[in-house]
Amino acid sequence: MTRRLSPPRMTLAVLVGLLALMSLGAASAQAAIVKLSGSSTVTPSEQAKQFLANAGVAVEPTGTATFANGVFTFPIFAGFGDTDTYDGVLAHSGGLRFSKGNRSAVVRRPVAVRAGGTAVLLAQIPGLPGNCGQVKHALRRYAANHPGVKHRVWHLAHQYPKAARHVVRGLKRYCSEGRVIVLAQLTNLAKSGENGTATLSADLLLTRQAARIVNRVAGSDVVAAGAPLGSGVSTVTPAP
């Protein structure tokens, strides 16, 4: 049975993003953290194509995302990662529109976050009220239960206030311009590197939140949490 992601796990993803972003201010002390650029692709699984086709739900790219030869591509507009562990954050532009008749839903600005054995894909749903309050509450609850992490965030925020303010503003925009959900859990993580380019791959499993969106568009329960959404590959290089 696939484990469902709870709000604290979403908070963990956001928190790791904050740590990675704020660590950029310490180039000498955090030499392994680098700014990344590139793109990510998602190849839908056969199961995903089948349950969407059976339900009559169409999927198309929006914004800067593209679709060609059965693959969706999303540009990375902001990325940060540890060159040793490959932990980090990849924020993408573009999105996907699910539609059937007069019903549709958009998920956009996917953010992949990887921290050790935990990796998730966040996304924003425009048109729905932002959930900054929920995210803030969960973040405080997680930090209260993990004093070591709380101390690290406090230390970085005070040592690099400009970077911290930039992160906070970015997070506020992200959770206020639409509802932030955990779109997929990333499993079977793999990585490789050659000539300064890193390739990160994972399988995407649909979360309960994402399954609800698809079912709402379909007009019936056609998919459940844990369904294989597809495979993702990110090709990244240190940004100039």
* pLDDT at residue number 34: 74
Which of 93, 119, 171 is closest to 10 using CA atoms? 119
The dihedral formed by the CA atoms of 77, 80, 81 and 82, expressed in degrees to the nearest 10: 160
Domain regions of the chain by residue span:
7-225
Radius of gyration from C-alpha coordinates of the chain: 18
Query: What is the separation of C-alpha 110 from the centre of its chain, rounded to a whole number of angstroms?
Result: 5
Low-confidence ranges of the chain (pLDDT < 70): 1-33, 115-117, 130, 135-160, 162-168, 170, 240
- Predicted pLDDT of residue 22: 43
Residues 43, 70: contact at Cβ < 8 Å? Answer: yes
- 13 sits in the region (left: phi over 0; alpha: psi -120 to 50; else beta) called alpha
Residue 174's pLDDT is 77
pLDDT digits (tens, 9 = 90+) for 11-66: 444 444 554 444 444 433 444 567 788 999 999 999 999 999 999 999 999 999 99
| Pairing, β 58-62 against β 197-206 | unpaired
Run of H or E including 13: helix 7-23
**Cβ contact 153:15 at 8 Å:** yes
